[in-house]
Amino acid sequence: MFYSFKIKSVYKILVTLCIIAALTACIFMVNNSTIMTAGSNRKLPVYRVDTGENKVVALSFDAAWGADKTGGIIDILNKYNIKATFFLVGFWVDKYEDEVKKIAENGFDIGNHSNNHLKMSTLQNQSIIDEIEYVNKKVETLTGKRPYVFRAPFGDYNNRLIENVTNLNMQAVQWSIDTLDWKGLQADEILNRVKSKASYGDIILFHNNSDHVLDALPKVIEYLLENGYTFQTVSELVYKSGFTIDVNGVQHKEK
């Protein structure tokens, strides 16, 4: 009898352990499902655009400090008859109003890069709106045109930022190719970065006052032209309606 009782006790213990294990697995699955659901609700800016068979890219230039090379960039773009987008910070706009006007007068797209170049994910709604709207209004006053695309400083964003940008009838964008020109890379190093990454619908990031931007830009443009690429501004490249953005930040036109 003692042996039988011992077997039954062991059996009960095993059954109890199995139940505990099963419950633990269920809890893990529920938690995992919650994480996946939360992840699926994350809002993203546009990093790249699915252009199908259209071999097109967009060049973009962030302008926050200095303007010495802005005229040279405009001259190079005009030489190749290419339009591009300049993402302007508010304090840059305040300091370089003539350059802002020149960018617009030459037919280039102006994007919004915030007023004070802050980490936008740390701001609350009204501060986000103030940061963006200051630049929108100032650019519109100087050029007659309100920016449509917004790029967050440092590539820093969260759902709150994306929602506020959308509510302002703008599109949040990032980049798919960072030339790293801001690190002082030489022209050929910048070119090689573009060569290794270039694809349809890319948004390419430069900075308007980086050390070697004037040397690198013609090389990048000529490489892309030789390989059959055409150019659009970022505002032209992104879809304005009827689109989705996948988990990699690629914007797709709805079918």
Active site positions, annotated:
62, 207
CB-based contacts of 197, cutoff 8 Å, min separation 6: 176, 177
Instruction: Dump strand ranges (E) for 194-249.
Output: 203-207, 230-231, 243-245
86: enclosing H helix or E strand? strand 85-88
Phi, psi angle pair for 211, to nearest 5°: -55, -45
195 alpha-carbon distance from chain centroid: 20
Q: What's the distance, Cα to Cα, between the start and end of the chain in Å?
A: 73
Helix crossing, 97-105 with 70-79: angle to 10°?
Answer: 10
